[in-house]
Chains A and B, each alone.
Chain A
């Protein structure tokens, strides 16, 4: 085998080629890492948002969009009394009628942007146990409680929506009464208001959904309730299934993310292979000389791959540092809410495998072409 130092020194034979290879592989790895982090983040937030213990009662025909759903107010009290096996706390059954609405929100400084609002009563905390109050208090009339990622959804820094600040929703002002977290769920980018306030603001006398949290009851019990109360025109759907369906709705967006990353990566890969073709072509005679000395093609192929791997793994390292600086913790807003990008082990592994594949698979065609010519001919090449 050729010494490893031979591969290391060859890297610096042509600094511009080294720069191209390192830069190209860094770009490919960064893009694929971003694509994986994006899709993983979206999947994570949508899958974490739904609990299998929660069943949603929505208006018939609105199973795929809660915002279009209309549920009569009477459904909430009927659910409390009719559904067996409900979770409860201090004899309060975990049944929460909620209004979900997208409306323009104007922050104290800045322009108006669409935000997701949820009109709730305190019982909502029983069906959304992942919600934790970070500071302040639950919103009363004229107040709004802000999710931890909600400022990012409006394009603002977290501290821009501090307690006591006023938000204009619709044409009415609301004072920020509290901040809450709901780690990893879409709730974390919502604005929670008093349900009656939101009903007045939106001039509606119906709910969007009634959330039911089960203790020892079965989702089928809720389904039977919806079926029996035909007059309320309800459908029941498990909350995790609802978000799973939403996740599928975002499939094309995720597909486009992959496609874009793959196209740019393919471009960079072919560019890199082309650079290697040129670089290795100038070394055909050197490779033939080493063969004449007694080195096998396999040993030389390993050396060429080592050389490329060094460059692509350096690019991968740079890409990982860039991802750490640019991607880690960055909040991405989408129509349902927002999620944070995270360099999870799977994301890092994707980056490393991509870098390694670029260095090996990308090197094979130009390396084989360099080592393929018959020795007598290769020794005479310029």
Chain B
């Protein structure tokens, strides 16, 4: 079966002044469709770099990066933007909601990139907010929501255009335990019931335990794949 994410010999090198830094070196990895994958590792291990490459917001120096059958390694900046708008939902640690827009309008943002009637957009946004349990708060601005609710809105924004891939950068890093558990439960549900492939970077072993698989990175290399701890929802 063809993997949803197929990474071959992927490297990323940055130029930092006169020295070059390689946070990711010749990494290979396969992720099947619908898998919830956690990436762990110390700071500077390359996990966020890998996440950004998979999300198409950064480009690799060498190697092959195939997502859902398409090699995105060679795409131009504009083509990558278009690809992201169709195939990726990004969930940030600090939610990154637009403060002047309501929850509804924040969730609607990805849909404005496609040709869709207002009525269709409204239906999709309401459905996404319903899925994350925030239908009744659609008119609220981010400042009127709790951290957990903001992250739910961010998840609704990430899934509203029905992308195959969700990438999450420390999605529970700024939340209390209860809210974090609710978010992890939601991500598992998206993976299992809606067949979303999820790649999540985390420092929290409990968050990693919610994933189907957990990979450890050190110095830009995968080191081992310990069995994930059991996530008690």
Instruction: Name A residues whose Cβ lies closer than 8 Å to a Cβ of B.
Output: 1-3, 6, 9-10, 12-13, 285-286, 289-297, 374-376, 379
B112 CB contacts on chain A under 8 angstroms = 1-3
Q: Are the C-beta atoms of B109 and A293 separated by less than 8 Å? A: yes
Tell me whether B78 is interfacial, beta carbon within 8 Å. Answer: yes
Contacts of A13 in B (CB 8 A): 99-100
* Residues of chain B contacted by A12 (CB below 8 angstroms): 100
A295 touches B58 (CB 8 A): no
Residues of A within 8 A of B149 (CB): none
Interface residues of B in 95-137 (CB under 8 A from A): 96, 98-101, 109-110, 112-113
| Chain A residues positioned under 8 Å from B98 (CB to CB) | 6, 286, 289-290
Q: Is the CB of A291 within 8 A of B81?
A: yes
In the bound complex, do residue B101 and residue A295 qualify as a contact, i.e. CB atoms below 8 Å apart?
Answer: no
C-alpha spacing A289/B82, complex, angstroms = 14
Q: Is B48 touching A293 in the complex (CB atoms < 8 A)?
A: no
Cβ of B78 and Cβ of A9 under 8 Å apart?
no
**Which of B55, B78, B100 contacts A292, CB < 8 Å?**
B55
Please state if A379 and B81 are interface contacts (CB–CB under 8 Å).
no
Interface string of B149-170 (1 = CB under 8 A from A): 0000000010000000000000
User: Is residue B86 within 8 Å, beta carbon to beta carbon, of the partner chain?
Assistant: yes
Partner of A376, one of B49, B78, B86, B96: B49
Does B221 sit at the interface, judged by CB under 8 A? no
Q: Quick one: which of B48, B86, B100, B109 contacts A290, CB cutoff 8 A?
A: B109
A294 to chain B: which residues have CB within 8 Å?
81-82, 84-86, 110, 113
Please give 6 more A-B residue pairs, beta carbons under 8 A apart, in addition to A292-B57, A375-B57.
A289-B98, A293-B84, A293-B85, A294-B85, A294-B110, A379-B96
17 contacts between A and B (CB under 8 A): A9-B101, A13-B99, A286-B96, A286-B99, A289-B90, A289-B92, A289-B96, A292-B55, A292-B57, A292-B90, A293-B84, A294-B82, A296-B81, A297-B77, A376-B48, A376-B57, A379-B96
- Inter-chain CA distance A289–B57, complex, in Å, is 10
User: Which residues of A sit under 8 angstroms from B86, Cβ to Cβ?
Assistant: 294
What is the total number of residues of chain B having a CB less than 8 Å from a CB of chain A? 25
Question: A379: which B residues are within 8 A, CB to CB?
Answer: 57, 92, 96
Contacting residues, chain A, for B78 (C-beta < 8 A): 296
**Docked pose: A81 CA to B113 CA in angstroms:** 86
Measured CA separation A351–B86 after assembly (Å): 44
B52 within 8 A of A: yes
A45 to B142, CA, bound (A): 61
The answer to whether residues A295 and B96 also contact, given A6-B101, A9-B101, A376-B52 and a CB cut-off of 8 A, is: no
State the CA gap A13–B92 with chains docked (Å): 23
With a cutoff of 8 Å between Cβ atoms, the chain B residues found around residue A291 in the complex are: 57, 81
A10 to B112, CA, bound (A): 18
Residues of B within 8 A of A6 (CB): 98, 100-101
Q: Give Cα A13 to B143, complex, Å.
A: 13
Which chain B residue shows the least CB distance to A380? B48
Q: How distant is the Cα of A10 from the Cα of B84 in the complex, in angstroms?
A: 25
| Cβ A376 vs Cβ B109 within 8 A | no
Residue in chain A with minimal CB distance to B78: A296
A10:B100 contact, CB within 8 angstroms: yes
- Cβ of A297: which chain B residues have Cβ within 8 Å of it? 77
Contacts of A292 in B (CB 8 A): 55, 57, 84, 90
